[in-house]
């Protein structure tokens, strides 16, 4: 008998669903994916540069208890992408947080059921 590999003890089980599932669990995940791919296609960065940054974020942030794979995965994608666009100079410092504030205000000013649009600043 060989000893069990001690590294195996800490391994989490695979997600239960091995079958088909939607590619994206929510529309925001699809939008995020599309933005990243479109910027890459337009030549703003090499995919390997993005993969490195994203991979580092995944490695740094463990999946929370009860969080599904897709939410964890694209949550890390979002964090990595926000800092990536700032590092690459595609967004000025503070620009994203200002836009977030305006989107939140726009939502609160929009009657329920109507499309939320960002007013000109």
Partner 1 sequence: MSDDHSHLDPIAVRVRALESLLVDKGYVKADALDALVDTYENRVGPRNGAQVVARAWVDPEYREWLQRDANAAIASLGFVGRQGEHMVVLENTADTHHLVVCTLCSCYPWPVLGLPPGWYKSAAYRSRAVIDPKGVLTDFGVSLPEGADIRVWDSTAEVRYMVLPMRPAGTEDMSEDALVELVTRDSMIGTGLALEPTGSAL
47 near 13, Cβ under 8 Å? no
Residues 38-57 that bind partner 1 (CB under 8 A): 38-42, 44, 46-48, 50-52, 54-55
Other CB atoms within a 10 A radius of the CB of residue 29 amount to: 19
Instruction: Give the separation between CA 38 and CA 117, rounded to whole angstroms.
Output: 23
Gap between the Cα atoms of 57 and 79, Å rounded: 8
> Which letter does DSSP use for residue 46 in this model?
-
Residue 99 Cβ, how far from partner 1 at the closest point, in Å? Answer: 4
The answer to whether residue 90 forms part of the interface with partner 1 (CB under 8 A) is yes
Among 1, 20, 94, 119, binds partner 1 (CB under 8 A): 20
Residue 78 is a binding residue for partner 1 (CB under 8 A): yes
Q: Which is nearer to partner 1, 21 or 87 (CB)?
A: 21
Rounded to the nearest whole angstrom, what is the least distance from the CB of residue 45 to partner 1 in the complex? 11
């Amino acid at each position: 008998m060989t000893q069990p590999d001690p590294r195996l003890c800490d391994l989490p089980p695979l997600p239960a669903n091995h079958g088909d599932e939607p590619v994206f669990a929510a529309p925001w995940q699809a939008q995020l994916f599309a933005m990243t791919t479109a910027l890459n296609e337009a030549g703003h960065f090499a995919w390997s540069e993005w993969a490195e940054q994203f991979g580092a974020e995944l490695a740094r942030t463990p999946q929370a208890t009860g969080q599904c794979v897709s939410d964890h995965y694209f949550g890390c994608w979002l964090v990595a992408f926000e800092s990536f666009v700032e590092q690459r100079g595609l967004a000025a410092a503070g620009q994203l947080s200002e836009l977030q504030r305006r989107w939140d205000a726009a939502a609160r000013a929009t009657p329920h059921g109507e499309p939320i649009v960002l007013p000109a600043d």
